[in-house]
Amino acid sequence: MENNASIEGFAFLGDELSLQPVRIDIEDGIIRSIEEVKNPRKRWILPALFNAHTHIGDTVAMDLPVDGDLESIVSPPDGLKHRILRATERDALVSAMHATIGFMEQTGCAGFADFREGGVEGVDALREAADGMSTRPLIFGREGGELISDGYGISSVRDLHNLESDIETARRAGRRIAIHAGERDSDDIEGALAYNPDLLIHCTHARRNDLRRCADEGIPIAICPRSNWILGVTRSPDHPPVCEMIDLGCRVFLGTDNAMFVQPDLWREMAFLSEITTLSARTILEMGIGGSALTKDPYWIEEGKRASIIEINPERSNLICSRDPVRTVISRGGSCHLDRILF
């Protein structure tokens, strides 16, 4: 990243993403000042994106033709993707993950929360793949990997025995707990909530009571709408019940889930959500950035904070005709519009 930079344009400031004409000065990677200016350059300055749920290891099986249900494809220990991962040479796995992180970097995504399979070795392989990259992983390991990573990524409370003691050990080691819940039905949501998790993934079939608990207990939810549609666990804009989540006050982040089926491109995820729901554009943009709260340094643009910023040049294309930059960013944005990436 450029450690020192001065950028000017219409910036989406703070966690309210309020659009202001400003100049932003960055020194040593820190936002030193944000000053209002008159008639700035025609640029849109945004916080970088954060992908709140991925499995980038399964990049190795990208677009492999499959048929079968969710369980036979992605459930551990013997779902198709797990068999492929076990049969993949370490070098091939590392270079596939490296390529996917490089793609995320090009799209202006500064971080991602990955469920990393393969125990301690799996976590080590992801660290090697991310070495030297600007886009940084938050790693949720399993099968022992949770003890050397940022957290414990649990496939579903119904898949595992000894879960209680494993979670207790992970908690004692200071790890965070993230759990897939409610992906194909609602049966495993209450069980997941009983562990007081730091993050739930999917909640595609969550009921109102589950969501109210998430809101009341401050448990964020990472939704992955394209994955849900591609894997056939929903065909309805009401699942995941994202409008209900927002109405109830849940914190909702966006993720792209399995790289095997879904390109980890949050611009597409935001556009899809804007096409199938009635959520406001600003809410969707918040979801594409808000997962950065899982890191020590959320990406909101504020003085004194580390810069995690992207700059869109609307003059590069027809985006310059926009009457509503927030709507345009989430429905038409993409890596082809990015002029600068500062993270």
Q: To the nearest whole angstrom, how small is the minimum distance from the Cβ of residue 316 to Zn ion?
A: 34
Report the alpha-carbon distance of residue 11 to residue 35 in Å, rounded: 11
Q: In angstroms, what is the minimal distance from the CB of 20 to Zn ion?
A: 37
Q: Amino acid identity, residue 54?
A: T
Tokens of 326: 């927030």
Decide: 307 and 29 in contact? Cβ < 8 Å: yes
Mark 64-83 with x for binding to Zn ion (rule: CB under 5 A) and - for no binding.
--------------------
Quick note: the x/- pattern for Zn ion over 254-293, rule CB under 5 A, is: ---x------------------------------------
Locate tokens 């000017």: which residue?
A: 8
**Residue with smaller CB distance to Zn ion, 198 or 257:** 257
In whole angstroms, the minimum distance from the beta carbon of 232 to Zn ion comes to 15
Restricting to residues 221-260, which ones interact with Zn ion according to CB under 5 A?
Answer: 257
Q: Which is nearer to Zn ion, 150 or 257 (CB)?
A: 257
User: Which is nearer to Zn ion, 266 or 309 (by Cβ)?
Assistant: 266
Specify the residue, 45 or 163, whose C-beta has the smaller distance to Zn ion: 163
Q: Which residue's C-beta sits nearest to Zn ion?
A: 257
Which 88-117 positions form the footprint of Zn ion (CB under 5 A)?
A: none
Find the shortest distance in angstroms from Cβ 74 to Zn ion: 7
Q: Using a CB cutoff of 8 Å and minimum separation of 24, what contacts does 131-137 make?
A: 133/98, 133/101, 133/102, 133/105, 134/1, 134/105, 134/110, 134/341, 134/343, 135/101, 135/102, 135/104, 135/105, 135/109, 135/110, 135/111, 135/343, 136/110, 136/111, 136/295, 137/101, 137/111, 137/112, 137/113
Least gap, CB of 201 to Zn ion (angstroms): 5
> Which of 144, 44, 56, 141 lies closest to 99, judged by CA?
56
Q: How far apart are CA 285 and CA 308, in angstroms?
A: 15
Q: Total residues at the site for Zn ion (CB under 5 A)?
A: 1
**In the bound complex, what is the minimum distance in angstroms from residue 181's beta carbon to Zn ion?**
11
- Please report, as ranges, the residues that interact with Zn ion according to CB under 5 A: 257
